[in-house]
Amino acid sequence: MKTRALHLIAILGLLLAGSLQAQESTLAPTPPMGWNSWNKFACNVSEDMIKSMADAMVKSGMKDAGYQYVNIDDCWQVSRDAAGNIVADPQRFPHGMKAVGDYIHSLGLKFGVYSDAGSKTCAGRPGGLGHEYQDAIQYAAWGVDYLKYDWCSTTTQDAKAAYANMRAALDAAGRPIVLSICEWGKAKPWLWEEVGGNLWRTTGDIQDRWQGKKEWSPGDCCSYGMLDILDLQVGLESYAGPGHWNDPDMLEVGNGGMTDTEYRSHFSLWAILAAPLIAGNDLRSMRPATHNILTNKEVIAVNQDPLGREGTRVAKNGDLEVWAKQLKDGSRAVVLLNRSASEQNITVAWEDLGYPDHLSAAVRDLWQHKDLGKFTGKFSASVASHAVVMVAAKP
Ligand code: GLA
């Protein structure tokens, strides 16, 4: 009798462990895709704007292309009530946060919010410190699917412990919620496997420009041009995989600070990096060029490849670079990047892709949507200034 009871307990334990594991692997099995308010709207968020953005995500074909999360960044919150519950801005969100989440869900999309591990968010709104479990229960009740958790006003807090605490709080609330760690890479969050973050920022904030880092200033988190962030990803590729991704910050495609050519490069490189594809532009008024970039299904397929490998730089010759990502079917996605001011010829050698020299591979251009033929040993293309040529090479 006693042994039977023990067996039963053991079986129940195994079942529970199995279902917890299953829950973990269903959160962000491929890099999350969605939209976030910060890059374009900063603190100017409201129920009306978020709902119209969710509508636009469906109408524009972004949803069909794979975008899923509608994420409200900083400034939706104004205070805490007497019981310590977080209070949404009653003017900007007159029907409360659950109504926003319900609307987003009614369109078949997912709902994300933002908070901070410290006492205040980066925009000075109430942070989550000391309210982790209370907030997690509230988020679950609102139907939140994704939490971006920032790192302002954290003084002497230990970063790893703070994020582990929030992960535990979210798990205890009983709703699967993606945890987006926004600690800017300061304490190397890519080493925190046991914390259970689904993505983590690797750097300070992206700015809508091709290149040029702005220095750190006290209390601020620095900002980087697109290429500066790209360079900081080299060496981190082994830490990414299904359920846990390096996050080189959200997309600036369509926000006006770069040319369409540069935005095509930005998007191609984020795809190769297996980066979360979180658009940051106004989806309600996209120019066709912006729309074509954000919805290129062949490039998105590289990003979302189920093997979940992050690509990296495999060759560099001054301003000319080759980036490559292994795909599940054994083929490679390749980006030829020209950082220079003039048109250049760039070659990818098969040996830099881990292919033997004598191998013949079919090359397809993922922006022209065109098969280019079979190539042995290498492939070369002429690449305009600040542009990429992105291909798939399939043996
Ligand atoms: C930090 C984050 C940004 C954004 C702002 C909001 O700077 O890194 O992505 O969330 O805070 O205040």
Is 3 part of a structural domain of the chain? no
* Domain hosting residue 334, numbered range: 312-394
Q: Looking at 205, 208, 247, 249, which residue is catalytic?
A: 205
Determine the pLDDT at residue 26.
85
Atom of ligand 1 nearest to the CA of 73: 10
Model pTM?
0.93
Distance from residue 243's CA to the centre of ligand 1 (Å): 22
Residue 377 shares a structural domain with residue 256: no
Determine the pLDDT at residue 220.
53
Determine the pLDDT at residue 21.
45
Determine the pLDDT at residue 214.
76
Distances (CA, A) of 110 to 71, 144, 176, 270: 8, 8, 12, 22
Is 350 part of a structural domain of the chain? yes
CA angle 264, 355, 309 (to 5 degrees): 50
Residue 209 shares a structural domain with residue 191: yes
Residue of the CA atom closest to atom 4 of ligand 1: 38
Does the beta carbon of 38 sit less than 6 angstroms from any atom of ligand 1? yes
Residue 312 CA to residue 93 CA, distance in Å, equals 42
Is 215 part of a structural domain of the chain? yes
250, 285, 303 - which closes a domain: 303
Is 138 part of a structural domain of the chain? yes
Does the beta carbon of 145 sit less than 6 angstroms from any atom of ligand 1? no
Atom of ligand 1 nearest to the CA of 122: 12
303, 327, 361 - which closes a domain: 303
The answer for residues whose C-beta is within 8 angstroms of residue 333's C-beta and 6 or more apart is 271, 272, 302, 305, 311, 324, 325, 327, 366, 390, 391, 392
> pLDDT truncated to tens, each residue of the chain (395 aa)?
455 554 555 554 444 444 444 444 589 999 999 999 999 999 999 999 999 999 999 999 999 999 999 999 999 999 999 999 999 999 999 999 999 999 999 999 999 999 999 999 999 999 999 999 999 999 999 999 999 999 999 999 999 999 999 999 999 999 999 999 999 999 999 999 999 999 999 999 999 999 987 766 544 557 899 999 999 999 999 999 999 999 999 999 999 999 999 999 999 999 999 999 999 999 999 999 999 999 999 999 999 999 999 999 999 999 999 999 999 999 999 999 999 999 999 999 999 999 999 999 999 999 999 999 999 999 999 999 999 999 999 99
Q: What CATH number corresponds to the domain at position 177? A: 3.20.20.70
Our answer to whether residue 205 is catalytic in this structure is yes
Distances (CA, A) of 394 to 327, 350, 371: 10, 11, 11
Q: What CATH number corresponds to the domain at position 327? A: 2.60.40.1180
Residue 261 shares a structural domain with residue 362: no
Is 20 part of a structural domain of the chain? no
Domain count, the chain: 2
Contact assessment for residue 279 and residue 295, using Cβ atoms and an 8 Å cutoff: no
Determine the pLDDT at residue 7.
56
Kindly state the tokens that stand for 163.
């994020």
Is 236 part of a structural domain of the chain? yes
Distance from residue 224's CA to the centre of ligand 1 (Å): 13
Residue 55 shares a structural domain with residue 196: yes
Residue 60 shares a structural domain with residue 109: yes
Determine the pLDDT at residue 210.
97
Distances (CA, A) of 12 to 18, 26, 64, 168: 10, 21, 40, 21
Is 8 part of a structural domain of the chain? no
Does the beta carbon of 73 sit less than 6 angstroms from any atom of ligand 1? yes
Distance from residue 385's CA to the centre of ligand 1 (Å): 31
Atom of ligand 1 nearest to the CA of 114: 10
Residue 166 CA to residue 128 CA, distance in Å, equals 9
Residue 133 shares a structural domain with residue 255: yes
**HSE (side-chain half, CA atoms, 13 Å) at 258:** 28
Residue 282 shares a structural domain with residue 382: no
Is 33 part of a structural domain of the chain? yes
Kindly state the tokens that stand for 235.
């060496």
Residue 107 shares a structural domain with residue 210: yes
Does the beta carbon of 123 sit less than 6 angstroms from any atom of ligand 1? yes
Atom of ligand 1 nearest to the CA of 148: 10
Distance from residue 150's CA to the centre of ligand 1 (Å): 7
235, 268, 303 - which closes a domain: 303
